[in-house]
Amino acid sequence: MTLAGLFDRLQRGNLVASKRLTGMAVAAFAAPFFLLGTAGVRINSSPSLPLGFYTETSDKGARLIEFCPPEPYGSFMAGRGYRSAGNCPDGGSPLMKPVIASAGDIVEISQRGLAVNGVLLSNTAPKSIDSKGRPMTAWTSGQYRVAVGFVWVASTYNTWSFDSRYFGPIPTGIIRNRLKPLLTL
């Protein structure tokens, strides 16, 4: 059957063929993402990191992690549309963020941004409103020594990233995977 013939059949109301074609299209589109995910490859399209492919690593020192944000921040982010749908408990997708501070480091948060061990990180100044003009609440300004079992995460790539400047340190127990770049732009 030619492509024109297939579309003629669909136009004549062949519901079964229409459903079959739709199912095949969805499967063909979703299959590569499923296969990449089962192979430990993550696709990043968010502006918090360079666009591209990242792969799981067993290196406990890897400074890029994947995690579901803790509550109430996960639901807050999902409700505001900061994340796409995914498999986190709040219904959103996991975050991929660089670890900027680990146990023993000193993090200072101020209107200027996040500083780690006295070094101010670029693009980390907290915003008082989000990109749609809705109010944002930053983590309380001050100095914090990172406790054992916690890390701070932040993107220096995107000034609008929702990260530890808003939700503070995260427990290492919620880290799903450690990642490394595979192919990025």
- CATH classification at residue 174: 2.10.109.10
H/E stretch holding 11: helix 3-11
Average of per-residue pLDDT across 88-104: 95
pLDDT higher than 70, residue 12:
no
* Peptide bond between residue 72 and the one before it cis (omega within 30 degrees of 0): yes
Calpha distance 166→171 (Å, rounded): 15
Contacts 24+ apart (CB under 8 A), 85-88: none
Same domain, 97 and 167: yes
Same domain, 111 and 168: yes
Contact 160, 130 (CB under 8 A): yes
pLDDT higher than 80, residue 149:
yes
> Which range of residues forms the domain containing residue 30?
1-39
Strand-pairing partners, residue 142, are 109
Confidence of residue 44 (pLDDT cuts 50, 70, 90): confident
Count of the separate structural domains present in the chain: 2
In the prediction, which pLDDT does 13 show? 59
In the prediction, which pLDDT does 46 show? 87
Closest CA to 17 of 6, 3, 33: 6
pLDDT higher than 90, residue 30:
no
